[in-house]
Structure 1
Amino acid sequence: MDKKLIIDCDPGHDDAMAILLAASKGNGLQIEAMTTVAGNVGVDKNTINALRVCELAGLDDTLVAKGADRPLVREPLEAAHVHGKSGLDGTSLPEKPVKQAADMHAVDVIIEKIMNADKDISIVAIGPLTNIALAMRREPRIIPRIQEIAIMGGGTFGNRTPAAEFNIYADAEAAKIVFESGAPLTMFGLDVTHQALATDERMKQLAAIDTPAAAAVMDMLHFYSGAYKGQFAGAALHDPCPVAYLIDPAMFQLENVRVDVETKGEFTYGMTVIDGSDRPNREPNVQFARQLDSDRFWQLFMNALSE
């Protein structure tokens, strides 16, 4: 039986790559719904981008629902300097998708899909955690029915601030709710996503794949890589990591840790405080991805784009 999942996202070049990976054939995943949230750009643009990527991926029947347009407490924060004003700058995807979003709010979709499922559903959370926190607050009964939440966010260092990664920083209050919920969480922070780099050599391998999906990803990477020039050996494929984990968990090394989200610090707001010790009253609440077999990851990604 395929693993059922909801993708909660804010597309985003690397979100788009994650969706394409999740949509690939024979990977053991079944996308039940896609929900969007304010993040890389506003939720309206993110929803349009999700629909555009669904059309590219052949997800014509996948329900797409627009979600929260702002964080729980703070003002919205965007990353247009990384993804462009549209959130998917540099791509040749049609600007106006034919596919339409559902009338339901994303939070209602998350609750309905989980409560009505005949088996547990996993959530791939690759944007700020606002929708998921709202769903947990509105209907706590979903929490024990969630198979797993695979989160791209956090880490032992930051990218939005020295202490905080963007997805957590964008709505730390929501992240705190999710991390303290008791749901099974697996966290893919910057420590591991920066092991999934689109190096020059890997870009050459990708360029040799003659499919519309591979061509679209090449366009995305040409734009997206600009944010990483001079800092890293290539663009980090953050959001495909939790999807790759659900397909092939063995490519990751995981550690049970305690993660707390800082919501009050002047300089540390949005920090994920990661504690791998055995201190009393500090029970682990997260599986934390430490290491990635990057060659195995890249081969999986290329295979998905070769279809």
Structure 2
Amino acid sequence: MSSNTEQILLWLDCDPGHDDALAIILAAFNSHVKFLGISTASGNQTAAKTTANAISILESIGKKHDIPVVMGASKPLLRKRQNSPEIHGESGLDGTSLLPKCDKVLYAKAQERKAIDVMAQTILAQDRKVVLVATGAMTNIALLVSVYPEVVEKVEMFTFMGGASFGPGNVSATAEFNIYIDPEAAQICMQAGFQHVAMIPLDVTHTVLVTDNIIDRIRREVGEKNKTFAQMICELMVFFRDTYERVFDFHDGPPLHDPLAVFYAITHKQNKLAFKEKLMRVDVECGNGLCVGQTVCDIWGNSSTEEKNCYVTLSVDVDKFWDSMIEALVSGGASSPLDS
């Protein structure tokens, strides 16, 4: 990797989604990141809705003309589309009336070209390697590396939020949602040959909760100067909290999954490691039985024939993450038109 002072060139593939929204904000307001663009896919909601949500979030932080958005895959590679309205609502970002409406011109522009064409052109045009982050199903990434295999050599790190290494899944006994809805895409990505692959599984994300103390901190630190923006974020998080309590019986706040994939890239690039991790072989179960979508992690290194291909994160410095996330939210509030 290059020097610690050099900005990360980051492309985010996502499906906003409450936690994806904060992943966008973290990437947009970290001084170590140059945010190249956003591709969207079906996942938490349909691709049409996740695209609109990405544009609305950028509008809410004053960045809608700075970070391009392209609409990607509307369905998995082989399977029927599955979304998650029970968690994220009918819009994918339910819970607040303060989120700006999607800009129709930018929404139309997001559909003008195929997402993988824009992704490939952007990544290949850079004068150094790019960090690729996925916080939803990996359909777009799988298509990208299949159609444009030369992109793989231009990616210095691929991080993704997904899977479960030791514990249970959140959509089945063994599978996490992002992997479960398109396991074939995830397996393609695991075998693509990226230089550095990092998996941020449920085992880690379930330790980073949006507690009442965190919501109070957002109201206090973000809302000190930008009350409307802080209120919007808190309303989104309260909706997310309530659905997680109803569906998954979480009583201490919902896990803020997706920003951790961005946070990994930021801290790793700076050599300020906030994660414990282990390099191991990871494959994805692509059958149709009870274990479909399981991320099979060779914890003990017993696979003598398969190369180790993924740094599986085991834990994260939760306080360090929240300091970084709150700092980004403060900057997002200062840039937001909601309080102008």
TM-score (normalizing by structure 1): 0.96
Match of 2:265 among 243, 246, 257: 246
Matched to 1:112, the amino acid is: Q
Distance 2:150 2:330 in 1: 40
Match of 2:232 in 1: 216
1:167-216 deviations in whole A, cap 9, x for unaligned?
00110010110011111211101011111111122221122121354332
Unaligned runs of 5+ in 2: 1-5, 332-340
After TM superposition, the runs of 4+ consecutive aligned structure 1 residues lying more than 6 A away are: none
Q: Contact 1:20/1:213 (CA < 8 Å) preserved in 2?
A: no
Percent identical across equivalent pairs?
36
Shift of 1:219: 1.2
1:87-131 deviations in whole A, cap 9, x for unaligned?
000122123326603322111111111222111111110010000
Stretch deviating more after TM superposition (242-251 or 74-83): 242-251
Match of 1:170 in 2: 181
Alignment of 1:222-237 (within 5 A): 222-229=238-245, 230-237=249-256
CA distance 1:61–1:231, shift in 2 (3 Å)? closer
Distance 2:29 2:301 in 1: 40
Distance 2:30 2:296 in 1: 37
Q: Secondary structure at the match of 1:6?
A: strand
Distance 1:99 1:49 in 2: 14
Matched to 2:186, the amino acid is: A
Stretch deviating more after TM superposition (10-19 or 241-250): 241-250
Stretch deviating more after TM superposition (227-236 or 4-13): 227-236
Are residues 1:63 and 2:98 paired? no
Q: Contact 1:4/1:120 (CA < 8 Å) preserved in 2?
A: yes
Match of 2:85 in 1: 80
Match of 1:19 among 18, 24, 29: 24
CA distance 1:232–1:150, shift in 2 (3 Å)? farther
Q: Secondary structure at the match of 2:281?
A: strand
Alignment of 1:260-275 (within 5 A): 260-275=283-298
Shift of 1:142: 0.9
Distance 1:109 1:222 in 2: 35
Aligned residues, how many? 306
Match of 1:138 in 2: 147
Stretch deviating more after TM superposition (4-13 or 57-66): 57-66
Q: What root-mean-square deviation, in Å, do the aligned CA atoms of Structure 1 and Structure 2 show?
A: 1.4
Q: Contact 2:280/2:301 (CA < 8 Å) preserved in 1?
A: no
Match of 1:7 among 3, 6, 12: 12
CA distance 1:52–1:119, shift in 2 (3 Å)? same
Distance 1:187 1:104 in 2: 29
Alignment of 1:147-166 (within 5 A): 147-156=156-165, 157-166=168-177
TM-score (normalizing by structure 2): 0.87
Matched to 2:49, the amino acid is: K
Matched to 1:149, the amino acid is: F
Q: Contact 1:10/1:127 (CA < 8 Å) preserved in 2?
A: yes
Matched to 2:330, the amino acid is: S
Q: Secondary structure at the match of 1:197?
A: coil
Match of 1:108 among 92, 117, 134: 117
Q: Contact 1:12/1:88 (CA < 8 Å) preserved in 2?
A: yes
Q: Secondary structure at the match of 2:79?
A: coil
